[in-house]
Amino acid sequence: MRRLVKEFFRLNKDIFVKDSDNLIKVKQMPSKLTLDKAGKELKLLLGR
């Protein structure tokens, strides 16, 4: 999961505020997760 979040951040730096800290807490790990699915969820959570 950590690798997917890092890759999402790398590909979507424009979404995040510069010089800010961000915390993403995963409550339950999905059994099968791809960068595409994780990206959609993260964009939804970030409101963008």
Which residue ranges make up each domain of the chain?
A: 2-46
Spell out, as residue ranges, where the chain has pLDDT lower than 50. Answer: none
**32 to each of 1, 11, 15, 39, 43, how far by Cα in Å?**
11, 21, 25, 14, 19
CA 47 to chain centre: 12
pLDDT of residue 29: 77
Which pLDDT belongs to residue 1?
Answer: 79
All residues at 6 or more sequence positions from 9 whose CB lies less than 8 Å from its CB, including other chains: 16, 22
pLDDT for 46 equals 81
